[in-house]
Structure 1
């Protein structure tokens, strides 16, 4: 790639050949947080790769909005495409507008109430199986909630065995991507045991998705889920009967792969982080419990409850600020351009880290503090434009942002209506950024039954 280091400040500490790889691998989050001290744009070296890290929110916004010049690409996305394919979240600019038109109806606001019923039902089913006083693996349980919700909302008619197989393979793939993104050719082709596991999972997951698509196509029944919507999707801007007017089976497989990963892995991790933060902030937890007692009156959360779940929603938003699942984004410049008044050559890898920007003290007061009230309307006005990049921005903003916020809010409220989760003494919880989504490691908590206030609502 074109070298960017001759134009911009290079972060200190680069080693011969390795560059900043060791520091990045040792603690990626700390490494990223250190970069703004050296400027708004800083060059880093990861082995053979040079990348330009954009640290200022206004410049990050420019990169993410101008998706023609700053196209999807770079060391992270090139690797993630290996298993996610060319879906709406990973495809280049030339494919994105058509794919977005075809996919967007599946996430229309009118469909959210139907999805919400499944979201609440799955959260209630998983949390309902917990036993008082037991220690649970929180991430495993929240991933179970998101996986079951994914199955019910994306491909409800698929056999359970296929859904479980896909979830296992996706976990293997996500873990493998982070390791592989720093391996240059031909080292990335060496058949290590991890590489063989990765390849098997990639092949098997593709076969699973293809089988589900084929079965849906043969059945020709509208199951009211996202898969049915994708099969029926029609691009009104395409000529009638044109090949590009509908999604091919291969394109549907790519979309489903991306949606399954995003809705299962990222949402499961976000919900786990929320429960962890509440365990360490009992006063915030008390306010959450008071809200769900008043709004839900003993029942699971429903779509119509969302406007009144203000504390719950702010907890989710603040959790996603502190621990954005998509903590690292990469782009590649398609032409010579200007950024921050300086020339950036074509072929430059550009990095935007929502995690880094969310932790800047000049953007957020006391940024390391868990403070859901910063998202209350009167305080949120003071947060600079572009400072919240949880779901990205511009035309490439996450197509499922409303879906994700709805699921996380309903699931958290449903759990809080019945349970209080306490930290387990002696357990160290830390961020595990060695994957596409930022999750907690070592998160175990003890379940404590709590009695909600008020009469129980009639079952819906």
Structure 2
């Protein structure tokens, strides 16, 4: 291996805290500034030194070699405090087995049923809205996705208070895990109010998940849902243990609720601020008429593709080297933590011209470049539910926009809150009953609008 050159350290690091201050102040601006320093840049997440991959080819190398770049190390351990050791967080040694056991749950023949659940849930949720209502969009989408995800996971309705509490607990955990990533581990063990709220939220959510697993073990009937598929998964005579089942349910619940809700909220915000595109989506929704599953290759699919480019939910994640490895011409020792940021890559102007502009037309007759578009990751660790997520989100948007128009309350851009995900927490829009939808020609590629 060539002798490693010096990897520059990003400015702004403080003793003990590392880059916590710029990350908490404006994580996206800080992250977007790093490529100017080079293809590899050192940052500090609290006490941990991390090498940030800022180049698309370097990033792809990290994501494609899941044996050399494993999900281990201090950062992923913090995430396991929330999501357990499920498919999205488990190490390479158990990932292949877990993915094979979970794969049947995400076969295309199950998508029509899943789409029906999300469409029906969106219809039921939005039927309670009234014209002129100022809607907490993110909270509404969290409730919608939580109920629909519960239904697709185990075909059962939880009491409304349990759903609401689970949403609040998920929010507490997602906020908390990001703060814990940026602070010394000792602080998470102190008996302070923040830590007590975090621990209590985790305990309640784990209790809900344990109850779901126990109830379905007692009733092994195939309900055609994710839990039935997971319970029936067998490899070499082995099935998922109760602990593995609980970890998968927790993984799918958090992913199906938090990330999907924020993507839907961002999509509705972008459509509210670009009414001509919103009319195109509404017209497509009416033309589709509740098709099962809804089409993913139309304007709604392109809107979601662009939304996920602008606001990828998982904006930062890490891998740890299992052996001495060369990355971008630099020799890195075993144990090095490498960070990857889909947000950084997807906002590079050399990869996506005018990167901050909302432009669904850029995806007309053009598939996303696998090195420059990473909202679901890449390689063997790519999100197993990517098609499931897109199907459910198209179904939800169609159900809402067939009936309602969304409008912004302010001309000022809405600023995201960056936690473990890029959230639209606190986003409020006005909803107006939709009388008729005019036929509007879709803009050609490049005819975008500022986000």
Superposed pair shares fold, TM > 0.5:
yes
Q: Which residue is equivalent to 1:295?
A: 288
Distance 2:384 2:124 in 1: 27
SS at match of 1:10: coil
Q: Which residue is equivalent to 2:352?
A: 364
Distance 2:288 2:228 in 1: 33
1:346-384 CA-to-partner distances (Å, cap 9, x unmatched) read 11111000011110000001100000011112xx25x54
Q: Which residue is equivalent to 1:212?
A: 212
Q: Which residue is equivalent to 2:260?
A: 267
Distance 2:89 2:390 in 1: 21
Structure 1 pair 124–369 and aligned structure 2 pair: CA distance change class (3 A): same
Q: Which residue is equivalent to 1:190?
A: 190
Superposition pairs of residues 17-166 of structure 1, within 5 angstroms:
17-157=16-156, 159-160=158-159, 162-166=162-166
Q: Which residue is equivalent to 1:338?
A: 326
Q: Is the 8 A contact 1:157 1:223 kept in 2?
A: no
TM-aligned CA deviation for residue 179 of structure 1: 1.2
User: For structure 2, which runs of at least 5 residues remain unmatched after alignment?
Assistant: 439-451
Structure 1 pair 282–159 and aligned structure 2 pair: CA distance change class (3 A): closer
With normalisation by structure 1, the TM-score equals: 0.90
TM-aligned CA deviation for residue 21 of structure 1: 2.2
TM-aligned CA deviation for residue 453 of structure 1: 5.9
1:413-448 CA-to-partner distances (Å, cap 9, x unmatched) read 1111111111113776210112x2211133111111
TM-aligned CA deviation for residue 207 of structure 1: 1.9
CA RMSD between the two structures: 1.9
> 2:401 is matched with which residue: 406, 416, 429?
416
Q: Is the 8 A contact 1:158 1:212 kept in 2?
A: no
SS at match of 2:18: coil
Q: Which residue is equivalent to 2:313?
A: 325
Structure 1 pair 427–129 and aligned structure 2 pair: CA distance change class (3 A): farther
TM-aligned CA deviation for residue 75 of structure 1: 4.3
Distance 1:293 1:248 in 2: 44
1:50-70 CA-to-partner distances (Å, cap 9, x unmatched) read 100001111111101111110
Q: Which residue is equivalent to 1:449?
A: 433
User: For structure 1, which runs of at least 5 residues remain unmatched after alignment?
Assistant: 455-460
TM-aligned CA deviation for residue 157 of structure 1: 2.9
Distance 1:213 1:289 in 2: 39
Distance 1:152 1:439 in 2: 24
Distance 1:140 1:173 in 2: 16
Structure 1 pair 184–388 and aligned structure 2 pair: CA distance change class (3 A): same
Q: Which residue is equivalent to 2:226?
A: 226
TM-aligned CA deviation for residue 182 of structure 1: 1.6
- Name the count of aligned residue pairs: 435
SS at match of 1:247: coil
User: Bigger shift: 402-411 or 422-431?
Assistant: 422-431
Structure 1 pair 162–445 and aligned structure 2 pair: CA distance change class (3 A): closer
Q: Which residue is equivalent to 1:457?
A: none
With normalisation by structure 2, the TM-score equals: 0.92
Q: Is the 8 A contact 2:136 2:428 kept in 1?
A: yes
Distance 2:328 2:410 in 1: 48
SS at match of 1:64: helix
